[in-house]
Amino acid sequence: MSNATLQPIPSSRLRPLRDEAYERLRVAILDGTHAPGDWLREEELSKRLGISRMPVREALRRLENEGMLKHFPNRGSQVTAICGEDMADVYDARMFVESRMAKLAARRITPSQLERMARNLETFANAEMGELVHLASEFDEILMEASGNSALRHIGKAVIDMAERVHYHTHSNPQRRDDTLREHRLIYDALSRGDEFLAEAATMAHISAVKTRTLKEFAARDSGRNSEPDASQDNGGESRRA
C-alpha cells in the first residue's frame, strides 16, 4: 500500500469521510498501488485511514459500482483486471460521449475556460512524465465543464476514470506525450473558433488514436508476458519439486 495515499485522514478534511476514503482508494487503484488481483478489506483499510468501517464500506461499494473492484462475500473486495477487450469498449464509450460534449462545448465554452485550456496545453508541453495523466485529465475536465451538460459530464467522468488505469502507465512514452499534445491542440483550436463539427471530429479522432495506441501497447505487453520462460520448468522441461 502507498504510505502517501493511505495515511490517516486528518480531522481537518474538507470532504465527508466516505468521499475522502473513496478518492484515496481510487487514486491507489489508478496509479497501480493496488494492482489487479490485490485484496482490499474494510478492517485493514479503516485502521490505515484512521476512520470507522462504515465510510470505508461506502467507498468500496462505490468503487465496485464503477467496476474497479469486485466483491466476494466473507473475503473482501478484489481489484479487477484490465484486458484489451475491456479497454476497447471503454474507448468506444468515451468516443461517443466525449465527442458529443465537445460539440456542445464549441457553442458554450467561455473565454475563461478557453484560457484555462490554453494554460493546460502550455503546461503539458513542458511537464514531467509523472504529471501528464493529471494534466490530460484536467484538459478533459475543462471540456466536459464547458459542455454545460451535467448528465454527460457525469457519464464522461466515469468512463475517463476507467481509462486512467491504463494512462498512468502508458503516458511514460515520450512519443505518446507529443501525440496527445498535438491532438489536444486541434480540439482547442476548434473550440476557440466555435466550430462544433470540427470540435466533434477532432475529439473523435483523438480518442480513436488513443484507443489504437493503447491496444497496441496492451498487445505488446501481453506478448512479452507470454514469451517469458516458465519459472516452474527446468531445462529438461519437467516441473521442479518444492
For 20-63, write each residue's pLDDT tens digit: 999 899 888 887 788 889 999 999 999 999 999 999 999 999 99
Cα angle value 58/76/36 (rounded, 5°): 100
Domain range holding 128?
84-220
Rounded-to-integer distance, Cα 225 and Cα 129, Å: 25
Asked whether residue 1 is domain-assigned, the answer is no
Q: Are residues 94 and 64 located together in one domain of the fold?
A: no
- One domain for residues 71 and 166: no
Query: Which pLDDT does position 221 carry in this prediction?
Result: 65
237 secondary structure, DSSP code? S
pTM exceeding 0.75:
no
Q: Mean per-residue pLDDT for 4-28?
A: 81
Same domain for 72 and 94, yes or no, is: no
Q: Do 61 and 88 share a domain, yes or no?
A: no
Amino acid identity at 98? E
Number of domains, the chain: 2
Is 133 found in the same domain as 39?
no
The whole-number pLDDT of residue 241 equals 33
